[in-house]
């Protein structure tokens, strides 16, 4: 069964990719979507089996791969609880994204290529989460990097899409270098790349040191921090986050797949999979906590000023990943995975609902040109409200809550219950980030669906109206555009293939937390559910449920405060945001420029790299190598040729003189010797 789950997407990708236009759009879409639906249907029974507590870890051999000295790498598929969770997340979201893309990409001329890339992406992620050794994990790790490059740059005719794809690829190579060195160091220390063997031996390595560059360093701290660099790249943590917002240049289904179920969750999965290693280093856990909390706050602040609907949700993803990492940093790996699980549903829902809005607004992504859409696209509106209720954590303890109410609140409570200074700091930062999350999420709702219609101010809409009036251009393929009786713009709901995934994901956003909170987080159920697939701390989970009431209510209070501020600013007093910007231009500029990370990196790395390249080119290549190498040699040859040419005059007396001079020189040498 596991072989079908993993390899069906690969087979479908090969058929659609190699067949391409020869098999046609419909066949390519049917093969890839059908394969993902089958993989999804097979994944849920595996997950339910682990929920029932009757599933042990199994390893299914595929083939022998590398046998070289002490390095033994066999290609195997490992299935345990952690894998089962990721299987349903990846295959469910990917299957729904495939279905959604039938409507969203209906007019694209390269649909077979697009669906092949989607399936290839899914296969790479499935290889990553079923890895039984670090080499196989690295294969899937690099596979999702390649597929993300292809998907982000899918519309390669756009320079911005090409630049975004290259940026994602290059930034991730920085993180992957750390990950590779971490794998090398792990093999050096443990003598194996087998994940079970490494995790079994990791606790005994706590406190041991290794010599490097004249100093002594803790072995597990060095290894875990190197591995965490890789996680920061894939999961867009502070410092290596800059690729994630630009990834919005790809089609919206790509954004949903990358942000909800595949690439950005790989880092969280890796830390949880290798959690016994991280447990052996308090320093590494502290770094993970600090970076996660800082990312949660940073991304939330930037999201508050974004006007592109997809970028708001992109920074939201970055912030939510920060929550997952600082949960892992305080030892609440179950809570981190639970938030990954619930986040997959409501984040995919938010992205696909945003795509439905963009579809209705003729690919306009600027929320400043939206407004009054709740009655025009009601299904999309209620789907996005469901996702917003989930991400902001709306709920009543002991009664019912949306998905994020259980998972995000659990992270905050676990951070407080950890009792460490860094854990309490992360809790405080997380509460502030929760307030900002509520603000920017409801800001998106109010700017998009409420207030006056601002459609006619959009150039995209004006072009659509112009084409419709003149009976040509994109008016015949208007992606949701239509004229009303007065010649104005009339958005309407998306087609059925786009709405069905919204309804299904809405159910997940509403019920996923309520239904699955016990197995993921309960101190007693969790031990049996996780069954050693990660370092589940039952004591911390027990302490988490015993935190003071004000701690439990803090996230809800933050959510309500953010909602109130957003309502006051965008519904009650719509002119307030402009006044705020006028009064705090410095702060607004700082946030609009995303804390100036891109500008700093451009100055230091991009311009610095070009300056170094020019220096090496002009002073090194041209000034030294060429000057004294090929150019110098050719100059010497040319000079000697000219001198010889002058001596070859053709006059007999010249040659006689040279002969006499030669004889005189030879005689002088003989006499002197």
Separation of CA 358 from chain center: 22
**pLDDT score of 278:** 95
**Which residue reads 């630049």 in tokens?**
163
CA distances from 261 to 93, 171, 197, 242, 256 (A): 6, 20, 28, 19, 8
Average pLDDT of the residues in 107-123 = 93
The tokens describing 652, both together, are 């007999």
pLDDT digits (tens, 9 = 90+) for 282-340: 999 999 999 999 999 999 999 999 999 999 999 999 999 999 999 999 999 999 999 99
Q: At what angle do helices 309-329 and 266-273 cross, to 10 degrees?
A: 10
Q: Is residue 468 over pLDDT 70?
A: no
Side-chain-side CA neighbours of 576 within 13 Å: the count stands at 11
**pLDDT score of 488:** 65
More confident residue, 106 or 486: 106
More confident residue, 499 or 484: 499
Q: Provide the 8-state DSSP code for 493.
A: P
pLDDT digits (tens, 9 = 90+) for 116-170: 999 999 999 999 999 999 999 999 999 999 999 999 999 888 898 999 999 999 9
CA distances from 115 to 39, 101, 438, 671 (A): 16, 8, 34, 91
Helix (H) or strand (E) holding 76: strand 71-79
Pairing type for strands 215-218 and 395-396 reads unpaired
pLDDT above 90 covers a percentage of the chain that reads 67
CA distances from 246 to 162, 308, 528 (A): 10, 11, 41
CB atoms within 10 A of CB 11: 15
**pLDDT score of 473:** 38
**pLDDT score of 508:** 94
**pLDDT score of 472:** 44
CA distances from 266 to 130, 179, 199 (A): 12, 12, 18
pLDDT above 70 covers a percentage of the chain that reads 95
Q: Is residue 171 over pLDDT 50?
A: yes
Alpha helices by DSSP H, 130-265: 134-152, 159-190, 195-201, 219-234, 243-246, 252-260
**pLDDT score of 484:** 42
The closest of 365, 374, 281 to 329, measured between CA atoms, is: 281
- Which runs of E-coded beta strand occur in 399-547? 400-401
**pLDDT score of 302:** 96
CB neighbour list of residue 70: distance below 8 Å, 6 or more residues apart: 191, 192
CA distances from 109 to 24, 85, 158, 416 (A): 10, 35, 15, 52
Least confident of 210-214, 234-238, 330-334: 210-214
How many Å is the Cα radius of gyration of the chain?
A: 31
Q: How far apart are CA 176 and CA 239, in angstroms?
A: 14
**Which residue reads 């002009």 in tokens?**
618
**pLDDT score of 467:** 62
pLDDT digits (tens, 9 = 90+) for 9-35: 999 999 999 998 889 899 999 999 999
Q: Is the dihedral of CA 257, 261, 265, 266 positive or negative?
A: negative
* Average pLDDT value for the chain: 89
Strand partners, 79: 58
Average pLDDT of the residues in 187-208 = 92
More confident residue, 185 or 476: 185
Strand partners, 76: 61
The tokens describing 424, both together, are 């309490």
Average pLDDT of the residues in 473-477 = 36
**pLDDT score of 287:** 96
Q: How far apart are CA 150 and CA 599, in angstroms?
A: 26
Whole-prediction pTM = 0.89
């Amino acid at each position: 069964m596991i072989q079908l789950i993993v390899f069906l997407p690969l087979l479908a990708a090969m058929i659609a990719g190699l067949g391409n236009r020869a098999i046609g759009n419909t066949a390519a879409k049917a093969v890839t979507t059908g394969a993902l639906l089958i993989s999804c249907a097979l994944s849920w029974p595996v997950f339910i089996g682990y929920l029932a507590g009757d599933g042990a870890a199994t390893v299914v051999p595929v083939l022998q791969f590398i046998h070289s000295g002490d390095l033994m790498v066999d290609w195997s598929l490992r299935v345990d609880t952690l894998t089962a969770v990721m299987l349903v997340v990846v295959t469910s979201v990917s299957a729904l994204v495939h279905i959604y893309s039938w409507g969203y990409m209906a007019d694209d001329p390269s649909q077979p290529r697009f669906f092949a890339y989607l399936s290839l992406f899914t296969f790479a992620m499935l290889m990553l989460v079923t890895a039984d050794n670090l080499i196989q994990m690295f294969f899937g790790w690099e596979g999702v990097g390649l597929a993300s490059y292809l998907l982000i740059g899918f519309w390669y005719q756009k320079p911005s899409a090409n630049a975004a794809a290259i940026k994602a690829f290059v930034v991730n190579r920085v993180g992957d270098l750390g990950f590779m060195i971490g794998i090398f160091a792990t093999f050096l220390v443990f003598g194996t790349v087998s994940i079970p063997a490494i995790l079994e031996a990791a606790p005994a390595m706590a406190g041991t040191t290794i010599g490097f560059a004249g100093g002594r360093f803790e072995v597990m701290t060095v290894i875990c921090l190197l591995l965490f660099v890789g996680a920061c790249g894939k999961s867009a943590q502070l410092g290596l986050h800059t690729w994630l917002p630009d990834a919005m240049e790809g089609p919206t289904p790509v954004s949903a797949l990358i942000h909800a179920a595949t690439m950005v969750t790989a880092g969280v999965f890796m830390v949880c999979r290798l959690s016994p290693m991280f447990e052996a280093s308090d320093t590494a856990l502290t770094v993970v906590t600090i970076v996660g909390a800082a990312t949660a706050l940073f991304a939330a602040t930037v999201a508050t000023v974004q006007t592109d609907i997809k970028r708001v949700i992109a920074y939201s993803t970055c912030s939510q990943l920060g929550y997952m990492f600082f949960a892992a940093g305080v030892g609440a790996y179950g809570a981190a995975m639970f938030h990954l699980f619930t986040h997959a549903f409501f984040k995919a829902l938010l992205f696909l609902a945003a795509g439905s809005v963009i579809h209705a607004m003729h690919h306009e992504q600027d929320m400043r040109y939206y407004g009054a859409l709740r009655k025009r696209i009601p299904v999309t509106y209620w789907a996005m409200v469901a996702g917003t209720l989930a991400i902001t954590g709306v709920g009543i303890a002991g009664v019912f809550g949306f998905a994020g109410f259980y998972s995000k609140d659990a992270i905050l409570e676990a951070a407080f219950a950890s009792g460490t200074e860094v854990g309490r700091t992360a809790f405080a930062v997380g509460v502030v980030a929760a307030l900002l999350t509520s603000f920017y999420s409801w800001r998106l709702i109010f700017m998009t669906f409420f207030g006056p219609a601002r459609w006619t101010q959009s150039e995209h809409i004006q072009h659509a109206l112009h084409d419709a009036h003149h009976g040509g251009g994109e008016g015949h393929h208007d992606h949701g555009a239509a004229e009303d009786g007065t010649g104005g713009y009339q958005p309407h709901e998306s087609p059925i293939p786009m709405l069905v995934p919204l309804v299904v994901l809405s159910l997940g956003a509403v019920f996923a937390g309520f239904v699955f909170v016990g197995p993921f987080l309960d101190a007693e159920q969790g031990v049996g559910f996780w069954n050693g697939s990660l370092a589940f701390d039952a004591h911390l989970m027990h302490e988490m449920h015993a935190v003071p009431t004000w701690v439990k209510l803090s996230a809800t209070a933050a959510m309500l405060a953010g909602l109130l501020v957003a309502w006051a600013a965008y519904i009650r007093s719509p002119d307030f945001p402009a006044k705020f910007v006028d009064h705090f231009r410095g702060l607004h500029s700082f946030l609009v420029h995303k804390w100036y990370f891109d500008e700093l990196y451009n100055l230091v790395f991009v311009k610095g790299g070009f300056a170094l390249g020019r220096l090496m080119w002009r002073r090194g290549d041209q000034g030294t190598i060429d000057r004294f190498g090929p150019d110098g040699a050719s100059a010497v040859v040319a000079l000697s040729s000219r001198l010889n040419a002058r001596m070859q005059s053709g006059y007999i007396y010249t040659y006689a003189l040279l002969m006499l001079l030669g004889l005189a020189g030879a005689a002088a040498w003989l006499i002197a010797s």
